[in-house]
Amino acid sequence: MGDISSGLSEVECDVLVIGGGTAGPMAAYKAKVKNPKARVILLEKANVKRSGAICMGMDGLNNAVIPGHSTPEQYTKEITIANDGICDQAPVYKYAERCFEIIQELDRFGIRFQKDQKGDFDVKKVHHIGTYVLPMPNGDTVKKALYRQLRRVQLLISNRFMATRLLNGRDGRIAGAIAVNTRTSEFLVVRAKAVILCLGAAGRLGLPHSGYLYGTYENAANAGDGYAMAYHAGAALANLECFQINPLIKDYNGPACAYVAGPFGGYTANNEGMRFIECDYWSGQMMLEFYRELQSGKGPVFLKLDHLANETIDEIEGILHRVERPTRGRFHTGRGTDYRHEMIEMHVSEIGFCSGHSASGVFVDEFARTTVPGLYAAGDMASVPHNYMLGAFTNGAVAGEHAIGFAAETDLAEYDPADVTAERERVLAPLKREDGVPPNQIEYKTRRLVNDYLQPPKITRKYEIAADRFAEVRDDLENAMMARDSHELMRAMEASSILDCAEMAVCASLFRTESRWGLYHHRVEFPERDNANWFCHTLLRKADDRMICEKRPVAPYIVPIADEERAAYDKQRLRRPA
């Protein structure tokens, strides 16, 4: 960790996939299977064996479109409504059409899904309208099973390389990426005909209430590097004002998880033990009702299981404490809380960017193409809304298959070597300082400011103050941040991505002068939804070294939505008879 190398290597490939969590391995696998002779590299900041949001496993598929239970049309409609209509349906529909084939493939990999006594997939209802949740009793094996497939097709894997910037070609195509080794600081330039970004959510944007930098709901390695890299490469990013805010377990910051407990009879309740929302599926409107309950004096809000039979709770614990987050049982033991005897306190999480649960991401079409030729994105950092783990797998597959076809018809783009020199200087600058501000202080300050000023409800003046404070932090980051070893250098580069994301959050939020997506974009001065002016996406990108935002019309729907269906997700609060 302490050895610092001045090395610089260059390698070439057909397709470079960055991020080896969920979407990335599937993208690389599909590209390699489609063209076994092609050179496909999977580059990962950590180790592909255990990296990403699914590193410890997953409880289930949150959005499985399974014949007999739902159709691609129903799913596309549900996600469009859940996202307040701001949805390019083509990628959602494509996902819905293909995800069953991916489930079957994952099943063959050894990741088994819950079946009923007749041997059919045992799908549960959690969403407001349709039935899409498929439990994974051996979900703890997901990463291992995936990794076995990568070994089988002899994929080239580069672990411990953190990508810091994309390389733009002189002709406007993507030319590759620049990465730095997190153990040696050695530089790697990967030239590629196509690049697929799968770097996950921006999960370290706000600061958890615990104050602990890595105590995040998201995989803590996902610092928003993908969002920052796409931005600096000139790609458009969509709907960044539609934040991710989750209902989590207080002080644990893990999902409560009503998706698992809901089908067993658990639910979200107020301090009187009363249910106040109709549906526990995460949406902006649901989070707004959660927030309102807290403000109403009926908070805190809780996960309520204490009315269930012991055997049912045993079963819930068997999933929640074993598969996805094995630390959860230990958390409850340490705190002395037991689902059988009391409700479990929940809270409103800090903000992040993530399309997996919300809608903010690098803009992509139904082939996972971004606005930069040759550059693709999939998973939590691409703009396909509410796509979760199966969306990462499926859209990763779409990206891999398309990118390998694109690569077959093109050559490597030429890039300007001065870009590599400039990036090396930027990245290595903190190592050259003998004294200064450590990255964790830069990061802490940025994220505390995010909490102070950006956490919704959004107030214009607070956002303007935040912009000024972030400019001051940037000055420290660029002129005074120091790193003592390669590990700290990684943290320094993460701090830089986090600050980029914070600035993007300000810019996108101030641009949209209405409220939409419930709490995610609740602007106090513009409390109403304004379809006349804002029924559109917002696209943010870098132009002439500045951040700009523009409107982009929502593409005509493939699946029509009747007027009376559009408000289904607005009616989240339970109405009690007078």
Ligand X SMILES: Cc1cc2nc3c(=O)[nH]c(=O)nc-3n(C[C@H](O)[C@H](O)[C@H](O)COP(=O)(O)OP(=O)(O)OC[C@H]3O[C@@H](n4cnc5c(N)ncnc54)[C@H](O)[C@@H]3O)c2cc1C
Positions that interact with ligand X (CB under 6 A): 18-24, 43-46, 51-54, 58-62, 162-163, 198-200, 217-219, 221-222, 225, 254-255, 324, 356, 379-381, 388-390, 392
Q: Which helix (H) or strand (E) holds 543?
A: strand 536-543
Least distance in Å: CB of 483 to ligand X?
A: 16
Return the number of the residue (491 or 516) whose C-beta is nearest ligand X.
Answer: 491
- Interior CA angle at 524 toward 518 and 528, to 5°? 55
Least distance in Å: CB of 116 to ligand X?
A: 20
Return the number of the residue (377 or 481) whose C-beta is nearest ligand X.
Answer: 377
Return the number of the residue (393 or 534) whose C-beta is nearest ligand X.
Answer: 393
Least distance in Å: CB of 127 to ligand X?
A: 12
Q: Which two tokens stand for residue 311?
A: 């055997």
Least distance in Å: CB of 490 to ligand X?
A: 9
Strand partners, 134: 61
Return the number of the residue (388 or 520) whose C-beta is nearest ligand X.
Answer: 388
Return the number of the residue (207 or 549) whose C-beta is nearest ligand X.
Answer: 207
Return the number of the residue (133 or 549) whose C-beta is nearest ligand X.
Answer: 133
- Residue ranges in 83-122 assigned as alpha helix (H): 89-109
Least distance in Å: CB of 345 to ligand X?
A: 18
Least distance in Å: CB of 372 to ligand X?
A: 17
* Separation between Cα atoms, residue 57 and residue 68, nearest integer Å: 27
Residue for token digits 């309740």? Answer: 269
Q: Are the beta carbons of 462 and 194 closer than 8 angstroms?
A: no
Return the number of the residue (32 or 512) whose C-beta is nearest ligand X.
Answer: 32
Q: Provide the CB-side half-sphere exposure for 467 (13 A, CA).
A: 13
Q: Which helix (H) or strand (E) holds 82?
A: helix 72-82
Q: Which two tokens stand for residue 516?
A: 């939409």
* Separation between Cα atoms, residue 55 and residue 315, nearest integer Å: 22
Least distance in Å: CB of 305 to ligand X?
A: 17
Q: Which helix (H) or strand (E) holds 301?
A: strand 301-304
Least distance in Å: CB of 329 to ligand X?
A: 15
Return the number of the residue (18 or 559) whose C-beta is nearest ligand X.
Answer: 18
* Separation between Cα atoms, residue 166 and residue 179, nearest integer Å: 9
Least distance in Å: CB of 151 to ligand X?
A: 17
What is residue 24's three-state secondary structure?
A: helix
Return the number of the residue (58 or 351) whose C-beta is nearest ligand X.
Answer: 58
**CB burial of residue 190 (10 Å; 0-12, 13-18, 19+):** buried
Q: Are the beta carbons of 541 and 255 closer than 8 angstroms?
A: no
**CB burial of residue 105 (10 Å; 0-12, 13-18, 19+):** middle
Q: Are the beta carbons of 514 and 529 closer than 8 angstroms?
A: yes
User: Among all residues, whose Cβ is closest to ligand X?
Assistant: 21
